[in-house]
Chain A
Amino acid sequence: MRGYAKRRLADLGVALLFLLPNITGFVVFTAGPVIFSLVVSFSNWNLQQTVPLRWVGFGNYLEMFQTEEFWLYFVNTGYLMLAMPISIAGSLVLAMLLSQKIRGTVVYRTLYYLPSFTSGVALLILWKALYNPEFGPVNAAIGWVLNDLHVNDLARLVLGHGIQPPEWLQSTRNLVGVQTEHVKFGAASWGIGAKDAIMFMGIWMGIGGGNMLLYLAGLSNIPQDLYDAAEVDGASRWQIFRNVTWPCLAPTTFFIVVMSFIGGLQGGFEQARVMTAGGPAGTTTTLAYYIYTRAFEQFQMGYASAVSWVLFAIIFTITLVNWRLGGKQVAE
């Protein structure tokens, strides 16, 4: 018995030695910085030697909740997530189309997955050019519809004025009418602007990406017997989708929803960095970009850490709620 225990102990030692490089990396590069950022969030650390380092308790958190800026950027983050259901539904439709036994499916799948393995920055630059209000193809197409198809003539007749193509990334307006400087709604802010431009682009990027692949995998796992039985019972295509495909895809959908929430709350950084610098007037600044600017442009490490931890708490809470509610339904 003692020999067995000794051997187990020796094996454990060997196992730990093997794990050591990974554990060291995790502690130094992940766990350490995470704990460090928590500590920093209670301080006024801002990399400046002229400002004495102080413990400020919940000061950064209080300041954050009292600053309208934080709430504006929180709203911006949420706004960009409004497209999530469209994006997920689009992925499902696309996956169902691509799971059909048609010639060249592999080519179609590759083409639709293209946005996911193309450099993100290259895509963003491309979209920025597409959205160019003067020379971009998007407004050229809208202009063609408005002028060559005489939609504008009709609008002048009905509305008394013509319709201008959107200014996209240069406009502070948005479809919901969120004001630029206050968390309020107003008719003057209504229109199509930078927030919407980024949201539409997000739908395009999201539909053909990883979600589509997950749905494809989910669809291939549904037993053919279920479809055969439904057809024998005389079920329509909609009934088959409603009662076979959709319930069988519930775990996949649940996973995608959870991951989309997490990704959405952490999102918007690349778009802001490459396309808009968070503007115009902060309309495309999300919490992730806000953390970056506060930490690495203004060096307010303590404040930025506090925002990071609040973002973590939001993500954690939403994931937990999703898990509790969604998980239960999936199990049923």
Chain B
Amino acid sequence: MKTIYAIALGVLIALSIIAHAIQPRRQMHGKLLLTWTSDDNPARREQIDLFNRLHPQYELRLDPGNVGMEKVIVQSLAGVGPELFDCYSHAQLTAFVKAGVAWDVSALYEKHGMKVEDIWSVVHPNFIYEGKPYGHPTNAATDAIWFNKKLFRENGVPYPQGDWTWEEFIETAKRLTKMGPDGRPEYFGYLSNRVEWYPMIRQFGGRLYTEDGTRCAMNSPECIRAIQLMQDLIYKYEVMPGPNQEAAMAAAGGWGSGVITLFGGGKGAMTHGGRWWLCLLRQYEDLDLGVTEMPHGPKKVFWGYGRATLVNRLSPYREQAFDFIRFEHERPYNELINHQADALAPVIRYCTGEKFLHDPEFPKEDYNQTWYDVMDFGEPIESSPFIDGREAQRIIDVQMDLVRTNAKSAAEACRDIAKKIDREIMKRLEEEPALRMRWERLTGKRAAA
């Protein structure tokens, strides 16, 4: 028995030694291994190849298997996180910063002469927290209307020239919906998997939070009017897809790709999306595309967004990882993003000039100026320091689901959003004394749960 035990122990020790010996080394062939947790797509691979070529001292590797805020935070806190990871919203950035995972790189920005003012403002909330940068955007975007010129021509409808209202848009969309002999639409005037509620409330003069962020402002008449229009577009005017149509479209692929595929296949005359859609739309060689700005309400505000790369504060190689952040600020990376059409390059100055406006490899793409112009009206979703953005989003999502399914009126939903978010704010103030003091200073009131 003892012999068996001794052999088993010996085998275990030997296996442990082998495992230790073959574990991935940080230094491989004289290069430092850096890991970037991001989605796996051909564009990303090309970006990594360019970085590795320009920085031969590093071997940057993609880790698509661990994408997701929860994974990044847990792994980083356990000491096995990546050097670089993606951030899609201010809510995520807040979570990364508060978890102590994101690294404040403001000193390095200054040292290398990098300025956040050079970067599109729509994506600032995704990497700047309380005035300090924690990384750099990988791209930036503001949604606009893609339109299929062929379908416009066939129906004798003039191409949209931008600066149009929802009423004008509705009329155009109606004229471009063609029914087949079986009574089902052959193609839709407008194809979308979701109307973004946020730019709509801003277009009507509403806000998600009061200016100081101490209270939710969704119960204002402006917000209610905007959300009511959103509901009407689905159920009254029937030019926007309801939840059923959204589901039908989404079934054709992952997020957004269902609509892109349908639009590419000529099933819609118009749709809304970002320049990054070209990554897929370029595959449809016969598609005659145009781009114009989104319709607007009393104000012109569109949805601006982007993705950022953050540096892991807990990585022993964070200084080296910053070289990737610098790379994202430089010309080769920015020109590659524009060429790939992975939205727009993050640095504004690289989104101008002939090379950007008329890429010789894609001569049909004569609408890049529009993508540049709409950036001025792009606005990212507001945030408040007094509530976790993910919690606010969850509350809003539930109510928007009810509005979209016509199970609740816009007014009721807006009132409930405000009530629930305000209650969460109060709860949060109880948890964080520093936040409570700040809230009380701003409002001049005592916070009561």
Cβ–Cβ contact B99 & A47, under 8 A: yes
Q: Is B73 an interface residue (CB 8 A)?
A: yes
A297 with B434: CB separation less than 8 A: no
Contacting pair A133 B248 (CB below 8 A): yes
A135 & B248 in contact (Cβ 8 Å cutoff): yes
Which residues of chain B are within 8 angstroms of A14 by Cβ–Cβ distance?
A: 1-2, 5
Residues of B within 8 A of A305 (CB): none
Asked if residues A281 and B405 are in contact (CB atoms below 8 Å), the reply is yes
Interface pair B95/A299, CB less than 8 Å apart: yes
Given the known interface contacts A167-B244, A180-B402, the answer about A48 and B99 at a Cβ–Cβ threshold of 8 Å is yes
A279 near B401 with CB under 8 A, answer yes
A210 to chain B, nearest CB (A): 30
Q: Which chain A residues lie closer than 8 Å to B8 at the CB level?
A: 18
A17 to B12, CA, bound (A): 13
B431 at the binding interface (Cβ < 8 Å): yes
Classify the interface of chain B: helix, strand, loop or mixed.
Answer: helix
- B391 close to chain A: CB less than 8 A: yes
Among B99, B388, B405, B435, the one with the most A-chain Cβ atoms within 10 Å of its Cβ is B405
Selected from B5, B69, B70, the residue in CB contact (under 8 A) with A17 is B5
Contact pick for A180, options B12, B390, B407, B431, CB 8 Å: B407
Indicate if the CB atoms of A282 and B398 lie closer than 8 Å: yes
Q: Which residues of A contact B243 (CB under 8 A)?
A: 167, 170-171, 280
Smallest CB-CB separation from B68: which chain A residue?
Answer: A296
Residue pair B391, A134 in contact (C-beta under 8 Å): no
Whether B2 contacts A132 by the Cβ 8 Å rule is no
A317 at the interface (CB under 8 A from B): no
Within 8 Å of chain A (Cβ to Cβ): is B100? yes
CB nearest to B2 among chain A residues: A14
Identify which of B1, B246, B404, B407 gathers the most chain A CB atoms within 10 Å of its CB.
B407
Q: Which of A11, A170, A281, A299 contacts B244 (CB 8 A)?
A: A170
A49 to B74, CA, bound (A): 14
Assess whether B77 is interfacial by the CB under 8 Å rule.
yes
Return the contact of B248 from the options A21, A132, A299 (Cβ within 8 A): A132
Minimal Cβ-Cβ distance residue in B for A11: B1
Q: Which of B382-414 contact A (CB under 8 A)?
A: 388, 390-391, 394, 397-399, 401-402, 404-405, 407
B437 at the interface (CB under 8 A from A): no
- B251 sits at the interface (CB 8 A): yes
Q: Closest A-chain residue to B70, C-beta based?
A: A296
The answer to whether B70 touches A297, judged by C-beta atoms less than 8 angstroms apart, is yes
Which of B405, B416, B433, B435 interacts with A170 by CB under 8 Å?
Answer: B405
Determine if A253 is an interface residue (Cβ-Cβ < 8 Å). Answer: no
Complex alpha-carbon distance, A17 and B432, angstroms: 48
Shortest distance between the CB of B152 and any CB in chain A (Å): 25
Contacts A281-B407, A298-B391 hold; do A134 and B244 have CB atoms under 8 A apart? Answer: yes
Cβ of B245 under 8 Å from chain A:
yes
Q: Are A48 and B248 in contact (CB under 8 A)?
A: no
**Residues in A neighbouring B432, C-beta threshold 8 A:** 50-51
Complex contact B244–A297 (CB within 8 A): no
- The answer to whether A192 has its CB under 8 Å from any CB of chain B is no
Interface membership of B153, Cβ < 8 A = no
The reply to whether A47 and B247 form a contact with Cβ atoms under 8 Å apart is no
Of the four ranges (under 10, 10 to 19, 20 to 34, 35 or more), the interface on chain B belongs to: 35 or more
**A181 / chain B contacts, CB cutoff of 8 Å:** 398, 402, 416
Give bound CA distance, A180 to B412, whole Å.
14
Q: Which of B98, B244, B404 is within 8 Å of A50, CB to CB?
A: B98
- Contact in complex: B391, A299 (CB < 8 Å): no
Find B73's partner among A11, A52, A293, A299 (CB 8 Å cutoff).
A299
Q: Please give me the residue from chain A that is nearest to B9 by CB atom.
A: A17
Of B2, B246, B390, B433, the residue contacting A297 (CB under 8 A) is B390
The verdict on A260 contacting chain B, using a C-beta distance below 8 Å, is no
* B13 vs chain A, min Cβ distance (A): 12
Q: Which residue of A lies closest to B391 (CB)?
A: A298
**A133 engages B244 (CB within 8 Å):** yes
The reply to whether the CB of A44 lies closer than 8 angstroms to some CB of chain B is yes
0 or 1 for each of A1-31: is its CB under 8 Å from B? (1 = yes): 0000000000100100110010000000000
Are B247 and A132 touching (Cβ within 8 A)? yes
- B390 partner residues in chain A, CB cutoff 8 A: 297-298
A134 x B248 contact (CB < 8 A): yes
Measured CB to CB, the nearest residue on chain B to A21 is: B12
Q: State how many angstroms separate the Cβ of B32 from the closest Cβ of chain A.
A: 28
Question: Given B77, B402, B405, which contacts A47 in the complex, CB threshold below 8 Å?
Answer: B77
Question: Are B388's CB and A298's CB within 8 A?
Answer: yes
Docked Cα-Cα span, A248 to B392, in Å, equals 55
0/1 interface trace, chain A 91-109, chain B, CB 8 Å (1 if under): 0000000000000000000
* Interface pair B247/A169, CB less than 8 Å apart: yes
Assuming A50-B434, A170-B243, A297-B70, is B251 touching A135 (CB within 8 A)?
yes
* CB-contact partner of A44 in B95, B399, B405, B431, under 8 A: B431
Nearest CB in chain A to that of B242: its residue: A170
Given contacts A47-B77, A47-B99, contact A170 B247 (CB under 8 A): yes
B207 to chain A, nearest CB (A): 24
Min CB distance B345 to A, Å, is 31
Q: Does A286 contact B (CB under 8 A)?
A: no
- Chain A nearest CB from B426 CB (Å) reads 13
Chain B residues closer than 8 Å to A172, beta-carbon distance:
401-402, 405, 407
- Which residue of chain B has its CB nearest to the CB of A169? B247
In residues 55-72 of chain A, which contact B (Cβ within 8 Å)? none
A171 close to B73 (CB less than 8 A): no
- CB contacts (< 8 Å) of B245 on chain A: these are 134
Task: Let me know if A128 is at the binding interface, CB within 8 A.
Answer: yes
CA distance A171 to B247 in the complex (A): 11
Cross-interface CB contact of A281 among B5, B99, B402, B431, cutoff 8 Å: B402
* A280, B405: Cβ atoms closer than 8 Å: yes
In the assembled complex, how far is the CB of residue A63 from the closest CB belonging to chain B, in whole angstroms? Answer: 9
Please pick, from A134, A167, A279, the residue contacting B397 in the complex, using a CB distance under 8 A.
A279
Residue of B nearest to A170 (CB): B243
Q: Which residues of A from 269 to 321 have beta carbons under 8 Å from B? A: 279-282, 293, 296-299
Which residues of chain A come closer than 8 Å to B5, judged between CB atoms?
A: 14, 17-18
In chain A, what residue has the closest Cβ to B432? A51
**A129 at the B interface (CB under 8 A):** yes
Q: Bound complex: CA of A181 vs CA of B248, how far in Å?
A: 26
B251 lies within 8 A of A132 (CB): yes
Q: Whole-angstrom distance from the CB of B421 to the nearest CB of chain A? A: 14
Once bound together, how far apart are the Cα atoms of A312 and B362, in whole Å? 60
* Interface-centre pick from A47, A169, A171, A282 (highest chain B CB count, 10 A): A47
- Per the 8 Å Cβ criterion, residues 156-173 of A in contact with B are 167, 169-172
Apart from A48-B99, A52-B433, list 15 A-B contacts with CB within 8 A: A14-B1, A18-B8, A49-B100, A50-B432, A132-B247, A133-B244, A133-B248, A167-B244, A170-B243, A170-B246, A279-B397, A293-B394, A297-B390, A298-B388, A298-B391
Q: Offer 22 A-B interface pairs, CB within 8 angstroms, sorted by A.
A: A21-B12, A44-B431, A49-B100, A51-B98, A51-B432, A133-B248, A134-B244, A134-B245, A134-B248, A167-B243, A167-B244, A167-B405, A170-B244, A170-B247, A171-B243, A180-B402, A279-B398, A281-B398, A281-B399, A281-B401, A297-B70, A298-B388
